[in-house]
Amino acid sequence: MMKKFVNDPKQFVPEMLQGIALANPDRICYVPQYNLIMRSGAPDDAKVSIVQGSGSGHEPAHVMVVGKGMLDAACPGDVFSAPPVDYVYETIRRLKSQKGVLLLVNNYTGDRLSFDMAREMAEAEGIRCETVIIDDDVAVSGSTHTVGRRGVAGNFFVIKAVGAASECGAGLDELAALGRRVNSVTRTLGIALSSCTPPAKGAPLFDLGGDEIEVGIGIHGEPGRRRDKLVPASAIVEMILDAVVPDLPYQSGDDVALMLNGLGGTPLSELYLLYGLAHRRLAGRGIRVRRSYVGEYCTSLEMAGASLTLVKLDDQLVSLLDAPADTVLRIF
Amino acid sequence: MMKKFVNDPKQFVPEMLQGIALANPDRICYVPQYNLIMRSGAPDDAKVSIVQGSGSGHEPAHVMVVGKGMLDAACPGDVFSAPPVDYVYETIRRLKSQKGVLLLVNNYTGDRLSFDMAREMAEAEGIRCETVIIDDDVAVSGSTHTVGRRGVAGNFFVIKAVGAASECGAGLDELAALGRRVNSVTRTLGIALSSCTPPAKGAPLFDLGGDEIEVGIGIHGEPGRRRDKLVPASAIVEMILDAVVPDLPYQSGDDVALMLNGLGGTPLSELYLLYGLAHRRLAGRGIRVRRSYVGEYCTSLEMAGASLTLVKLDDQLVSLLDAPADTVLRIF
């Protein structure tokens, strides 16, 4: 039996979005017919509008990072389903700004298709658009729903950087170049300790043995590189770093941001434990952690697991990451 | 088999604390021999020092809410175990301020014992202390480890209020009175969908049937009021409000803060779904939600479940809740 706080599974996403809207009356507007969460006051012709859409089930990505300094709008699809073309198209139309609309898309076939078609329709109406594809996951070079690498938690750094730069008046081409630059220095790998259960499916997405982990898990439960036996946290961190560090590569002398992202069912205590191990092992490789992010950023419902993201930093990127933001996702 | 990111279970808490320290070099100091997390620059004779200790496993409570506008220090015990007397005593000594030390204690027998003894020892050395006991859980009037009601997520509001007031220079007696006043208008009830597994035990704390929920769960897995069959989210919210609202009572015309707290394994999507249902049902009872808090504040490791807290608000309390804070627990 599925154990979740849910009414009708078909209403899972709308009921979540209603909750977000009720909790944030001054920050956002909610347009139910398109699952659209817009920042209050958007669009603003003085800034590029930044839009992301994706399947739901990855919260806080992306509906909860709408707000000042981050996204101007998010249009999610159903759980683990790309947003329909008309959702994306309506979102772009409503977010039309004289400075243009920047579309951030994680690299999944369904999401790209929706965004490409919607962009074409919007451009035919004279709306200027640019697209940045995020593909930070080093696990596999193609997967169930993907040609090329998948976009996962590293996407947060792209949003944060272009969101901050857009508040300072950066133009569309500049933002697209910045987003691509951040993506190009960002790498992630995730490990699952459990599956997860989409409300409409009512059963686990995949089976994982009681002593098994999936190395390189996708955020929709897609297979990774391999299944391993569960090992101590130190060995898991070493395994992740051995995949992520050489991929860019991150080198001795580099400054990085280090993110330990929970996949939904893993507590903060374990994430900080992993963080500490990773921080020290990176120091041992001569890589200095200059900024740290620990918590849930891009999840897979209640999946137990974590992903580790590295971003190679320079002073511009640090100042963009440090810029203030005010979103649905907040503590106080 | 226990599926967690862990090395030696005995090192679970120290390794988590090391991670917190490495991720926050400018914000906090870590004193390993007493599990002590201190705010950088504390103690400050211009402000009362605010200290909380409790068992670990409830993160972000309390080690991750150390920082400006919240706690000056936290001294956790092992998972679900009260901090030893000498940890608390050393914490009070190191946090000694001319304005005194305020001790916040959730109402569990072990925690009270440690804090009472440590306070006596500190007072014998001339350190002025006051204690505020938090007991917001309406579920039961006594429990496995408790005489009287238990302290759970509502504790966050006490910390936030006294933390903000202490930054403005409030004295020890004033802060203690404020803390007691906030506790007196705060009520919580939690529902568990699953058990959780303490690392050192390696097995679930309790068993819960595949279609069962524990109504009024304690944050250490203590029994609540009863076991029920899992019902739709709307019915769960109604059940919680029927327990919480009449208890104070919260009445038509009241302004409240509404917190939907995740117990560790429940995703943000479900918490916002519950939030939306609760917000509207409260409105239907004439109770206006003026401030909202959705996320993880006081957890039980990876337990699936949620608690709902109401706080009756007045203008003073709203301004204390809105005051800026900067803690380990942050997103950006």
- Picking from A59, A295, A322, the nearest residue to B269 by CB comes out as A59
A255/B290 Cα distance (integer angstroms): 42
Residue A149: which of A247, A240, A61 has the closest Cα?
Answer: A247
- Chain A partners within 8 Å of B198 (Cβ): none
pLDDT band at B1, cuts 50/70/90?
confident
What pLDDT does residue B142 have? 75
Q: Which residue of A has its CA nearest to B301?
A: A267
Look at the block and give the residue holding tokens 């120290």.
Answer: B14
What pTM value is reported for the model?
A: 0.98
Question: What's the rounded mean pLDDT across residues B42-63?
Answer: 97
Confidence of residue B143 (pLDDT cuts 50, 70, 90): confident
Predicted confidence at residue A147, as pLDDT, reads 84
Which 3 state secondary structure label does DSSP give B322? helix
Query: Token pair 């005995």 is at which residue?
Result: B10
Cα distance between residue B66 and residue B51, in whole Å: 9
- How close, in Å, is residue A89 to chain B by CA atoms? 24
Q: What is the pLDDT, as a whole number, of residue B229?
A: 97
Query: Which residues make Cβ contacts (< 8 Å) with residue B47, sequence separation at least 6?
Result: B72, B97, B99, B166, B167, B169
Using alpha carbons, select from B320, B299, B311 the residue that is nearest to residue B55. B299
Q: Among B216, B320, B271, B176, which residue's Cα sits nearest to residue A332?
A: B320
Beta carbons of A3 and B234 less than 8 Å apart: no
How distant is the Cα of A19 from the closest Cα of chain B, in angstroms?
4
Closest CA to B9 of B197, B198, B200: B200
The domain ranges of chain A are 9-185+323-327, 187-314
pLDDT at site A328: 92
pLDDT tens digits, residue range B274-314? 999 999 999 999 999 999 999 999 999 999 999 999 999 99
CA–CA dist A96, B266 (Å, integer) = 36
Please give the helix or strand (H or E) that residue A85 lies within, else none: helix A85-94
At residue B183 the predicted structure's pLDDT band, cuts being 50, 70 and 90, is very high
Query: Are B265 and A19 inside 8 Å of each other by CB?
Result: no
pLDDT (0 to 100) of residue B249: 98
Residues in A closer than 8 angstroms to B61, CB to CB, are: none
- Per residue in B191-244, pLDDT tens? 999 999 999 999 999 999 999 999 999 999 999 999 999 999 999 999 999 999
Nearest CA to A244 among A167, A328, A310? A310
Which residues of chain B lie closer than 8 angstroms to A15, CB-CB? 233, 273, 276-277
Give me the pLDDT at residue B185, please.
98
Cβ-count burial of B258 within 10 angstroms (0-12 exposed, 13-18 middle, 19+ buried)?
Answer: buried
Taking only the tens of pLDDT, chain A with its 332 residues reads: 799 999 999 999 999 999 999 999 999 999 999 999 999 999 999 999 999 999 999 999 999 999 999 999 999 999 999 999 999 999 999 999 999 999 999 999 999 999 999 999 999 999 999 999 999 999 998 777 788 999 999 999 999 999 999 999 999 999 999 999 999 999 999 999 999 999 999 999 999 999 999 999 999 999 999 999 999 999 999 999 999 999 999 999 999 999 999 999 999 999 999 999 999 999 999 999 999 999 999 999 999 999 999 999 999 999 999 999 999 998 88
Which residues of B does the annotation mark as catalytic? 58, 220
d(C-alpha A187, C-alpha A243), whole Å: 9
CATH 3.40.50.10440 fits A9-185+323-327, yes or no: yes
Residue B144 clears pLDDT 80, i.e. is over it = no
Tokens of B134: 């938090």
pLDDT at B28: 97
Q: How far apart are CA B217 and CA B323, in angstroms?
A: 31
Strand order in the sheet with B101-106: B28-31, B36-39, B73-74, B49-52, B101-106, B129-134
Amino acid found at A164: A
Residue-level pLDDT at B53: 94
Give A-chain residues touching B272 at CB under 8 angstroms: 16-17, 19-20, 23, 59
Q: With CB atoms and an 8 Å threshold, state whether B19 touches A275.
A: yes
A234 to chain B: which residues are within 8 Å by CB? 7
Query: CA geometry: angle at A51 spanning A49 and A54, to 5°?
Result: 180
When the candidates are 3.40.50.300, 3.30.1180.20, 3.40.50.10740, 3.30.365.10, the CATH number that belongs to B187-314 is 3.30.1180.20
Provide the b/e sequence for A88-113 (b: ≥16 CB within 10 Å). Answer: bbbbbbbbbbebbbbbbbbbbebbbe
Going along B95-242, which residue ranges are E strands?
101-106, 129-134, 142-143, 146-147, 186-192, 212-215, 226-229
Cα distance between residue A310 and residue B18, in whole Å: 20
ipTM of the complex: 0.97
Q: Kindly report the nearest CA distance between residue B124 and chain A, in angstroms.
A: 36
Say what the pLDDT of residue A128 is. Answer: 98
Supply the pLDDT for residue A305.
98
Minimum Cα–Cα distance from A299: chain B residue: B267
In whole angstroms, give the CA distance from residue B179 to residue B158.
5
CA atoms of B231 and B183, how far apart (whole Å)? 30
Gap between the Cα atoms of B266 and B127, Å rounded = 42
Confidence of residue B332 (pLDDT cuts 50, 70, 90): confident
CA distance B303 to chain A (A): 8
The H or E element spanning position A229 is: strand A226-229
